[in-house]
A = this chain, B = another copy of it.
Amino acid sequence: MKAEIIAVGTELLLGQVVNTNATFLSEELADLGIEVYYHTVVGDNPTRLEQLLKQAQERSDLIVLCGGLGPTDDDLTKDTVAAHIQHSLVQDEQALAQLHSYFRFSKNKMTENNLRQTLMIEGGRAIQNPAGLAVGTLITEKDTTYLLLPGPPNELKPMFKQNARPLLEELFPQAEQLLSRVLRFYGIGESQLVTDLKELIDGQSNPTIAPYAKPNEVTLRLTANVTNHKKGEELLDQLEAKIMAQVGEYFYGYGDENSLVEVTVERLKQAGKTISAAESLTAGLFQSTLGDVPGVSEVFKGGFVTYSEKTKEQFLGIDPAILEEHGVVSEACAIAMAERTRELSEADIAVSFTGVAGPEELEGQPAGTVWIGLAEKGKPTIAELQHFTRDRRYIRRSAVMKGLDMIRRAVDRSK
């Protein structure tokens, strides 16, 4: 089963946008046992797209096109593919209903252009868009299957995962099953993890082990190739046990779509504990990260952003003498912030973040110097010092991850 991915969009050729769709789709297709042989990017030009389609049809069983399904005149993917396979375009009723619904509540007025987005290729299956207005199409013509998806990744990804992928699984069933399991690690770098697991990685055959470095964490994707599900699970269990024996202390959760914040919030819910926070350098990023988790209101009621010395005193009632003596980039400040926050919010656990986001120094301390405090009812308040790297954005995000890990471990200790 040979596939190729064609991304349509002049903005890609001008270097204004990175082609992350091709990467996402390739990973998904690999998971489905479909091999991708080419990625191509072509501009908003029907002649060149048509030439490419002719070539693709000869060499590929599946052609995935992304981009060019929008409302403007540059958006020509549907027209070009339809002409290529000699089908017409028809209105998709469900997409049309979604369009009308969107404009009922939006301040923007619907235009003629928007209607074009709800057209699909006749004879194909409509691929609904849970995050936007352009409907996609899956259609097979003369032994070649075409899948049309829109350009914006936040639309393409859910469309593919929820609506296109099940259809592809039917069209291209795998005799052998690929069974994957993703292990997530915090607090260890990729090269150290790979070094610790050298024997297992060098000796891998089935399952395979693939490490992926992500911002502030590392994942391992274990993939077993088997003819039955149960056997695959067993193989994965065995390999996982060997991995945990080496690096289990850094493991925090399973799954590709998981994250440290989701695991931490889940732990808090299970333990019936609430949290609060006072943030200086992170400026609300920690609490905002909690806010992305549905249902977090069960464990989080509110907190503070104390971005200056004055607001630490004003909002939290911290004794100015502490800040005068120790400064804000200090253990004492982190402890005072965490304790006062816990008292004011009455939460079971409160964390604090104070330090140097950069790029300049603060109180003679370099960018990346961060104290994170954790106050817990009935326990001594702790504070950890970290030295994060790279730039301001990365330092703030690294601090948030560390705070989450400290909370997760604190909840586990209390069990």
Q: How far is the CA of A302 from the CA of B303 in the complex (A)?
A: 11
A414 in contact (CB, < 8 A): no
CB closest chain-B residue, reference A300: B307
A264 to chain B, nearest CB (A): 15
A213 to chain B, nearest CB (A): 7
Known: A13-B39, A302-B315, A393-B292. A192 touches B111 (CB 8 A): yes
Q: Bin the interface of chain A by size.
A: 35 or more
Among B37, B39, B73, B108, point to the contact of A192 (Cβ < 8 A): B108
Contact B308 A305 (CB under 8 A): no
Contact B195 A111 (CB under 8 A): yes
Contact B392 A210 (CB under 8 A): no
Q: How far is the CA of A267 from the CA of B85 in the complex (A)?
A: 54
Contact A303 B305 (CB under 8 A): yes
Known: A284-B288, A297-B307, A301-B307. A36 touches B23 (CB 8 A): no
A259 to chain B, nearest CB (A): 13
Residues of B within 8 A of A70 (CB): 190, 213
Residues of B within 8 A of A37 (CB): 13, 42-43, 48
Contact residues, A304-351 vs B (CB, 8 A): 304-308, 310-312, 314-315, 344-345
Q: How far is the CA of A129 from the CA of B17 in the complex (A)?
A: 26
A290 in contact (CB, < 8 A): yes
Known: A191-B111, A284-B288, A314-B345. A23 touches B27 (CB 8 A): no
A22 in contact (CB, < 8 A): yes
Contact B12 A39 (CB under 8 A): yes
Residues of B within 8 A of A306 (CB): 302
Most buried by B among A7, A73, A285, A368: A285
A167-194 Cβ-contact flags toward B at 8 Å (1 or 0): 0000000000000000000001111101
Most buried by B among A19, A213, A391: A19
Known: A113-B194, A191-B71, A191-B72. A302 touches B307 (CB 8 A): yes
Residues of B within 8 A of A287 (CB): 283-284, 288, 305, 307
User: Could you tell me the dominant secondary structure of chain A's interface residues?
Assistant: mixed
Most buried by B among A41, A188, A211: A41
Q: How far is the CA of A114 from the CA of B297 in the complex (A)?
A: 43
A156 in contact (CB, < 8 A): no
Number of copies: 2
Residues of B within 8 A of A12 (CB): 22-23, 26, 39
CB closest chain-B residue, reference A287: B284
Among B17, B191, B213, point to the contact of A152 (Cβ < 8 A): B213
A179 to chain B, nearest CB (A): 14
A227 in contact (CB, < 8 A): no
CB closest chain-B residue, reference A347: B311
A11 in contact (CB, < 8 A): yes
A251 in contact (CB, < 8 A): no
CB closest chain-B residue, reference A285: B288
Residues of B within 8 A of A88 (CB): none
Contact residues, A1-49 vs B (CB, 8 A): 7, 10-20, 22-30, 35-43, 48
A291 in contact (CB, < 8 A): yes
A180 to chain B, nearest CB (A): 9
Most buried by B among A17, A106, A305: A305
Contact residues, A378-403 vs B (CB, 8 A): 387, 389-394, 396
Q: How far is the CA of A344 from the CA of B314 in the complex (A)?
A: 8
Contact B15 A25 (CB under 8 A): yes
Ordered by A's residue number, 16 sampled pairs between the chains whose C-beta atoms are within 8 Å are A14-B27, A15-B27, A15-B28, A18-B20, A37-B42, A40-B41, A109-B192, A111-B195, A113-B194, A154-B215, A277-B305, A283-B290, A284-B287, A284-B305, A287-B288, A301-B310
